[in-house]
Amino acid sequence: MSVKIDLHHLAGFIDDSELSAIAPQVRLAHETLVNGTGAGNDFLGWMDLPEKYDREEFARIHAAAKKIRTDSEVFVVIGIGGSYLGARAAIEYLQSQNRNALKKTGPQVYFAGNSLSPSALSEILELCGEKDFSINVISKSGTTTEPAVAFRVFRGLLEKKYGKQGAAKRIYCTTDRARGTLKQLADREGFETFVVPDNVGGRYSVLTAVGLLPIAVAGADIDALMAGAAEERAELNGDASSDASCLYAAVRNILYRKGKETEILVSYEPRFQMMCEWWKQLCGESEGKNGKGLFPASVVFSTDLHSMGQYIQQGRRSLFETVVLIDKPAADLTIEEDADNADGLNFLSGKTMSYVNRKAFEGTVLAHTDGGVPNIVLSAPDFSEKSLGALIYFFERAIAISGYMLGINPFDQPGVESYKKNMFALLGKPGYENEKANLEARLK
Ligand code: PA5
Tell me: do 167 and 275 sit in the same domain: no
Report residue 241's pLDDT band, with 50, 70 and 90 as the boundaries: confident
360 and 375 housed in the same domain: yes
Longest CA–CA span in the chain (Å) reads: 76
Report percent pLDDT > 70 for the chain. 100
Q: Is residue 414 part of a domain?
A: no
Determine the average pLDDT of the residues in 130-146: 94
pLDDT computed for residue 417 by the predictor: 85
Please say if 73 is a catalytic residue: no
Of the residues 201, 220, 239, which one is the last residue of a structural domain?
Answer: 220
Strands 4-6 and 375-380: antiparallel
For the segment 261-265, the average pLDDT, to the nearest whole number, is 98
Say how many domains are in the chain: 2
Statement to judge: residues 116 and 29 lie in one domain: no
Q: Is residue 441, in this structure, part of any structural domain at all?
A: no
Q: What integer pLDDT is reported at residue 81 of this predicted model?
A: 97
How confident is the model over 346-399, as pLDDT tens digits? 999 999 999 999 999 999 999 999 999 999 999 999 999 999 999 999 999 999
31 an active-site residue? no
CA distance 428 to 433: 7
Query: 293 in ligand 1 pocket by Cβ < 6 Å?
Result: no
Are residue 54 and residue 202 in the same domain, yes or no?
Answer: yes
What is the mean predicted confidence (pLDDT) over 116-137?
Answer: 97
User: What is the signed CA dihedral for 420, 424, 429, 434, rounded to 10 degrees?
Assistant: 110
d(CA 165, CA 278): 36
**Average pLDDT in the chain:** 96
Question: What is the per-residue pLDDT across 92-121, written as a single tens digit (0 to 9) for each?
Answer: 999 999 999 997 789 999 999 999 999 999
Q: Is 425 part of a structural domain of the chain?
A: no
Residue 1 has pLDDT above 70, yes or no: no
End-of-domain residue from the set 220, 246, 278 = 220
Q: Annotated catalytic residue: which of 263, 285, 287, 321?
A: 285
Angle between helices 244-257 and 16-35 (to 10 degrees): 120
Q: Is the CB of 299 under 6 A from ligand 1?
A: no
Range of the domain at 85: 47-220
Give 294's DSSP letter: P
Position 58 pLDDT exceeds 80: yes
Q: Is residue 156 part of a domain?
A: yes
306 is catalytic: yes
Task: Work out which ligand 1 atom sits closest to the CA atom of 81.
Answer: 5
Of the pLDDT bands very low, low, confident and very high (cuts 50, 70, 90), residue 239 is confident
Do 25 and 95 have their domain in common? no
Same domain? For 33 and 151 the reply is no
CATH number of the domain enclosing 136 = 3.40.50.10490
